[in-house]
């Protein structure tokens, strides 16, 4: 039996020699390239068949126009206000990363909405690559390819891409953060801590509410790192924090210089809270969702965006305190909507407001349930292998906390899809290996791939103990083969 889990096309991943690994690494990359082509084909077919032409409105219009304005050197105004009245009003309704990325094709003259849709699909393919690399690091090359395959075809990973929404950027950055967290878990070096901090900054600049990952993932991951002295842990945590702050601070300084009230990442929190804390969302058919009726019942808000943000936050908190007895029910409904277990078919209909085709949304809901079950099994597999699960469960946890604070909807779950796909891939690969062992009992197949970063076969106890004493770590296959 070849090493690498019993699949001949993965033979050779069990050793450490570069020369021996060139051929299997090339095969692995070839398979990944083919999977990425399939994923791109699905996204483009979805775009052409369902979403072109499509009315450019709502958040997609914001990201599209903000990208073109930024590429033209006009800063960051409210594109709606600029279109309706011609007035330049400073705004930060959404964090900047989505529009900054969309500005890349705009700089080369591709300023149409279709161009941004295609570029967003390419960003979705980038997420497939990051998921594959993370899966390989978590449980070996086979898991990496299975995760890539799921990311290519699973609707939860591509339904948002041609819509030109921040969910695409959230998926991309969260996949990078998971990969960075897994690399830090294995290497625990200064560079790895810095990359982890940079990935966290990218996540925050894509989805402001995911700043919670600083406390759910980064702090415990570094603070609880085994085999490191406390001084070393504090130093690595300080380095990750510094890197993250330096990446975010230009946007923060820009905001502090143009608004009357302090704004750091976004002026959109108040608006979001205003449409989610009122009788229409605390009771009735829209329980746990959002409603424009909430805002219509309020006095007129200030026109200056930071003052408007403060006003809406105050009104929302006033209502929340007066109806705190409803919070457990509302929170449960929000979580249920986000994870597809509370009024799922109603939520599919509500998602149509964001131009999602109802038929594809139903497919996405059904496949979500299957992926969730497989992901739960993946957690069990990793726990039984005594592997760290925090890098893979941190995003779903942070996302759930954010959902409880704001509201529940399908697209909020997007940032957690890479974690679900990776956990599901772990379970699928483990099940395939178990079936292979039963089918061929005479062939010993390891309980998890010999190329796993945590495999005892790669790190004898004596060398591990020596490395821990010296503060170093012997590189493993995933580290040697990562691009």
pLDDT digits (tens, 9 = 90+) for 75-126: 999 999 999 888 999 999 999 999 999 999 999 999 999 999 999 999 999 9
pLDDT of residue 20: 60
Q: How far apart are CA 358 and CA 366, in angstroms?
A: 12
Mean pLDDT of the chain: 88
Q: How far apart are CA 330 and CA 289, in angstroms?
A: 9
The distance of Cα 368 from the centroid of its chain, to the nearest Å, equals: 16
Residue ranges with strand state E in 322-405: none
Which region among 142-151, 278-287, 409-418, 471-480 has the lowest average model confidence (pLDDT)? 471-480
Using 50, 70 and 90 to split pLDDT, how confident is the model at 226?
confident
12-21 mean pLDDT: 49
Q: How are the residues of the chain apportioned to helix, strand and coil, as percentages rounded to the nearest 5?
A: 70, 0, 30
Q: For 126-172, what is the HEC assignment?
A: HHHHHHHHHHHHHHCHHHHHHHHHHHHHCHHHHCCHHHCCHHHHHHH
Per-residue pLDDT tens digits for 172-204: 999 999 999 999 999 999 999 999 999 999 999
pLDDT of residue 2 exceeding 80? no
pLDDT of residue 444: 53
Using 50, 70 and 90 to split pLDDT, how confident is the model at 355?
confident
Do 90 and 260 touch, CB atoms closer than 8 A? no
Which pair of structure tokens corresponds to residue 159?
A: 């339904």
Q: How far apart are CA 469 and CA 23, in angstroms?
A: 35
Rg (CA), the chain: 23
Exposure letters 141-155 (e unless 16+ CB within 10 A, then b): bbbbbbbbbbbbebb
Do 427 and 147 touch, CB atoms closer than 8 A? no
256-272 mean pLDDT: 93
pLDDT of residue 443: 59
pTM, full prediction: 0.87
pLDDT of residue 9: 42
pLDDT of residue 315: 94
Using 50, 70 and 90 to split pLDDT, how confident is the model at 459?
very low
């Amino acid at each position: 039996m070849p090493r690498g889990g019993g699949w001949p096309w993965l033979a050779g991943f069990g050793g450490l020699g570069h020369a021996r690994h060139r051929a299997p690494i090339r095969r692995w990359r070839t398979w990944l390239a083919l999977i990425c082509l399939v994923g791109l084909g699905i996204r483009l077919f979805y775009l052409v068949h369902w979403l072109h032409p499509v009315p450019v409105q709502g958040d997609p219009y914001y990201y599209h126009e903000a990208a073109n304005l930024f590429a033209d050197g006009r800063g960051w105004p409210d594109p709606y206000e600029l279109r309706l009245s011609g007035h330049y009003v400073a705004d930060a309704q959404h964090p900047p990363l989505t529009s900054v990325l969309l500005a890349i094709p705009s700089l080369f003259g591709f300023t149409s909405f279709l161009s941004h849709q295609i570029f967003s699909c390419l960003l979705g393919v980038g997420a497939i690559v990051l998921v594959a690399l993370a899966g390989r690091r978590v449980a070996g090359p086979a898991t990496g390819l299975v995760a890539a395959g799921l990311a290519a075809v699973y609707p939860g990973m591509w339904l948002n891409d041609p819509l030109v929404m921040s969910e695409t950027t959230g998926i991309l950055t969260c996949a990078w953060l998971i990969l960075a967290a897994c690399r830090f878990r294995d290497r625990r070096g200064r560079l790895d801590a810095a990359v982890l901090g940079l990935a966290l900054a990218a996540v925050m600049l894509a989805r402001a509410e995911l700043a919670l990952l600083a406390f759910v993932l980064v702090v415990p991951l570094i603070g609880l790192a085994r085999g490191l002295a406390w001084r070393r842990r504090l130093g690595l945590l300080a380095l990750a924090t510094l890197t993250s702050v330096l990446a975010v601070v230009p946007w923060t300084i820009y905001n502090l210089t143009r608004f009357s009230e302090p704004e750091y990442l976004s002026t959109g929190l108040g608006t979001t809270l205003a449409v989610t804390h009122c009788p229409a969302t605390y009771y009735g058919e829209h329980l746990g969702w959002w409603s424009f009726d909430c805002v219509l019942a309020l006095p007129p808000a200030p026109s200056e965006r930071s003052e408007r943000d403060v006003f809406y936050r105050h009104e929302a908190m006033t209502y929340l305190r007066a109806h705190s007895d409803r919070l457990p029910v509302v929170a449960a409904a929000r979580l249920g909507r986000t994870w597809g277990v509370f009024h799922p078919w109603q939520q599919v209909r509500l998602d149509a407001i964001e131009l999602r085709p109802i038929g594809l949304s139903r497919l996405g809901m059904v496949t979500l349930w299957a992926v969730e079950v497989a992901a739960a099994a993946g957690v069990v597999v990793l726990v039984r292998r005594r592997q760290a699960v925090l890098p893979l469960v941190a995003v779903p946890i942070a996302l759930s906390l954010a959902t409880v604070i704001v509201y529940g909807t399908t697209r909020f779950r997007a940032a957690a899809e890479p974690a679900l796909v990776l956990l599901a891939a772990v379970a699928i690969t483990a099940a395939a290996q178990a079936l292979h062992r039963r089918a061929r009992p005479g062939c010993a197949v390891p309980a998890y791939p010999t190329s796993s970063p945590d495999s005892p076969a790669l790190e004898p106890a004596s060398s591990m103990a020596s490395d821990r004493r010296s503060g170093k770590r012997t590189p493993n296959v995933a580290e040697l083969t990562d691009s």
